[in-house]
Amino acid sequence: MQEPEFHAEGDVYTHTKMVMEELLQLSEYETYSDYEQNTLLYAALLHDVAKPRCTIVQNGVIRSPRHALVGEKMAREILWDNDLELRETICALVRLHGLPVWLMEKEYALQKAVSASLKLNNDHLYALAKADMLGRICKDQDELLLQIDLYKEFCKEHDCLNTPKAFHNAHSRFKFFNSKSAYPAELYDDTKFQVTVMCGIAGSGKDTHANELDIPMVSLDDLRKKHGVKHGDKKQQGRIIQMAYEQAKEHARKKQDFVWNSTNLTKDIRGKLIRSLAPYNPKFKIIYIETSSKNLFQRRKETIKNDVIYKMMKQLDMPQLDEAHEVEYFRN
């Protein structure tokens, strides 16, 4: 069930059906290609998929905190073995479907709209948000529809409605997101070396790819083996990470290209590394590697339990261009 004040139409299933019906009737929807329409239909179907998992009742009020964040991860799990680009666009739409309603109330609104443009088409996000709002019964519907229209105009004004926001270069984009700039400045790229950050679930083929780069490597797995620390030993993990950071900073002081090889599944973990090394002014490249769900559970079955692999899948934050100078995606 949903809170009647915001969803007088009833439960999540009823709302989801209404959203899909409204989407099909939008004038904007008719202008999209078959591929774009298919993407939006999946996003509409899954946009509230996490509400049953996230719904709570507080003081008699029904709420669903973090349902968009959890919904993104559930959508990725459901669609794991589908086309990577299609899957991630759907996941981004699920994650951000509420952004057009609340953008102007958020701090760093421009960064959030520009960041969205790097993950999806903001015009598609506008259409999904509009269908989401029309597919419900609530008192403030007209006011919220106006907010969604303003989102479209805001993106149009900042040249990020139908295409990713253009930057002078990758370094300008990196600084825009990592220094909370008020506007995208045109900066000279004065980076002297590159830090390549591997990202991927255990068993994805990440180590093989990292070894093929043929540059110095900081590997958490290698350090664990060297010091006899078992995978999952939380007591010793901090010591291993500290050693890895010292190795990384030694490379950075020498302005030497190197690979940081670990799972790096969450944006917080990658962000901590990037913030730590940013004063050395490197170029950051994230390489994301994945494979089929069948391979994930087969390749490491002797060393890592299935429930640990499954937990990694649910933890994954897909690397995005608002984190680094460059991001590459490989599905093997």
Q: What is the pLDDT of residues 238-276, one digit of tens each?
A: 899 999 999 999 999 999 999 999 999 999 999 999 999
* Percentage helix, strand, coil for the chain under 3-state DSSP, each rounded to 5: 55, 10, 35
93, two tokens: 């739409």
**16, 48 contact by CB (below 8 A):** yes
Question: Which pLDDT does position 3 carry in this prediction?
Answer: 92
| Percent of the chain residues past pLDDT 90, beyond the cut | 89
pTM metric for this prediction:
0.95
Report which of 115, 139, 117 is spatially closest to residue 126, judged by C-alpha positions. 117
Question: Which pLDDT does position 316 carry in this prediction?
Answer: 97
Residue 141 amino acid letter: Q
Which parts of the chain are beta strand (E)? 56-58, 61-63, 194-199, 217-219, 258-261, 283-290, 326-331
Q: Please write the tens of the pLDDT for every residue from 160-172.
A: 999 999 999 999 9
Residue 66: exposure state from Cβ atoms within 10 A (0-12, 13-18, ≥19):
exposed
- 144 pLDDT higher than 80: yes
Q: Any alpha helices (H) in 31-169, and if so which ranges?
A: 34-46, 51-54, 67-78, 84-96, 99-102, 109-119, 122-134, 141-157
Cα gap 33→42, rounded to integer Å: 14
Q: Please write the tens of the pLDDT for every residue from 193-234.
A: 999 999 999 999 999 999 999 999 999 989 999 998 877 777
Cα gap 229→321, rounded to integer Å: 34
- 180 pLDDT higher than 80: no
Residue 73 amino acid letter: K
Phi, psi of 197 (to 5 degrees): -105, 115
Structural fold of domain 12-157: Hypothetical protein af1432 (1.10.3210)
Cα gap 88→77, rounded to integer Å: 11
**218, 260 contact by CB (below 8 A):** yes
Question: Which pLDDT does position 299 carry in this prediction?
Answer: 82
Structural fold of domain 194-331: Rossmann fold (3.40.50)
Cα gap 47→71, rounded to integer Å: 7
- Domain ranges in the chain? 12-157, 194-331
**3-state secondary structure (DSSP) of residue 191:** coil
Average pLDDT of the residues in 153-163: 98
**160, 223 contact by CB (below 8 A):** no
278, two tokens: 């940013």
Cα gap 96→123, rounded to integer Å: 13
Cα gap 23→40, rounded to integer Å: 8
Phi, psi of 331 (to 5 degrees): -115, 115
Could you tell me which residues are beta bridge partners of residue 62? Answer: 57
